[in-house]
């Protein structure tokens, strides 16, 4: 009975996302952003809230993030291997928390190929955004050192089966907090090499620390953290 009800929920949510995707227009997006600054990429989204979560709608997909940690995704971005890579990583990793993969199927909307995916966040919670941690003074030296170790753990696991690294989801911004601790969320676009990842991540880490120190949001030991990142990520 339980599995039957889960399939009904899954199919219902899939159809809801498909209907919302079909309803997206640039005019609706422009109206949504009419009073805020936006760029050509991020300006294409629309947020919609209901009592149980948030819809995030773009021209190439629709997400639903529920308050109980369920994540439903309909997207034309990525490849068939993205979900497979996530499943492999989840089954191997033990010392770092990531989204739990549930299912994926291919659907066609207006004759365009889309991936419908479902995930569950580790402790059945929505998760607390990284930026809230900043303003609660939780992003300090130790926080970023733990981030460096966590990413090293993921990279080591990916190397075991020669997988590529997700282009999105491995930055400090994608680490969320729940009642049990920190976890990574929203891995996607598994398309970059280890070398490109560490190069990009080192630059991102420098930008993050510059922003935090420049705005006096914390007092980070930048030199020590960067050196630790280079050591752990094997950057010469």
Q: How do residues 175-205 score in pLDDT, each as one tens digit?
A: 999 999 999 999 988 999 998 999 899 999 9
| 53 and 6 in a common domain | yes
Angle at 186 between CA 180 and CA 191, to 5 degrees: 135
Q: How many CA atoms lie within 13 A of 17 on its CB side?
A: 30
Query: Cβ distance 197 to 135 under 8 Å?
Result: no
* Residue 217 covered by a domain: yes
* Residue 125 covered by a domain: no
Which tens digits make up the pLDDT trace of 14-53?
999 999 898 877 677 676 656 555 545 444 677 888 999 9
Query: Which residues span the domain enclosing 206?
Result: 130-232
What is the pLDDT of the chain when averaged over all its residues? 87
| 197 and 137 in a common domain | yes
Total tally of structural domains belonging to the chain: 2
Confidence of residue 141 (pLDDT cuts 50, 70, 90): very high
- The last residue of one of the domains, among 120, 139, 171, is 120
Residue written as tokens 């006096």?
Answer: 216
Q: Residue 32's pLDDT is what?
A: 60
Examine the pLDDT at 143 and tell me if it is beyond 70: yes
- Dihedral of alpha carbons 183, 65, 119, 41, sign: negative
* Residue 178 covered by a domain: yes
- Percent of the chain exceeding pLDDT 90 equals 61
Say what angle helices 141-160 and 222-232 make with each other, to 10 degrees.
10
| 93 and 156 in a common domain | no
* Residue 111 covered by a domain: yes
| 206 and 103 in a common domain | no
* Residue 75 covered by a domain: yes
- The last residue of one of the domains, among 120, 150, 183, is 120
| 104 and 7 in a common domain | yes
């Amino acid at each position: 009975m339980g599995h039957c009800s889960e399939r009904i929920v899954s199919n219902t949510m899939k159809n809801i996302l498909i209907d919302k995707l079909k309803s997206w227009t640039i005019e609706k997006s422009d109206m949504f952003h009419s009073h805020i600054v936006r760029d050509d990429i991020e300006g294409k989204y629309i947020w919609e809230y209901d009592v149980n979560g948030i819809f995030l709608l773009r021209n190439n997909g629709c997400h639903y993030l529920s308050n109980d940690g369920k994540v439903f995704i309909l997207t034309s971005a990525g490849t068939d291997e993205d979900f497979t890579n996530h499943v492999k990583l989840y089954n191997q990793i033990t010392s770092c928390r990531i989204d739990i993969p549930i299912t994926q199927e291919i659907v066609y909307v207006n004759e365009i190929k889309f991936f419908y995916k479902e995930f569950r966040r580790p402790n059945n919670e929505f998760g607390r955004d990284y930026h809230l941690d900043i303003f609660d003074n939780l992003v300090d030296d130790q926080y970023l050192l733990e981030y460096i170790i966590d990413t090293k753990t993921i990279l080591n696991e990916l190397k075991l089966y020669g997988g590529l690294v997700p282009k999105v989801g491995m930055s400090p911004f994608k680490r969320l907090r729940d009642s049990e601790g920190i976890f990574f969320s929203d891995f996607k676009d598994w398309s970059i090499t280890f070398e490109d990842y560490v190069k990009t991540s080192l630059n991102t880490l420098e930008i993050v620390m510059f922003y935090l120190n420049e705005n006096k949001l914390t007092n980070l030991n930048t030199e020590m953290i960067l050196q630790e990142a280079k050591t752990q990520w094997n950057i010469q």
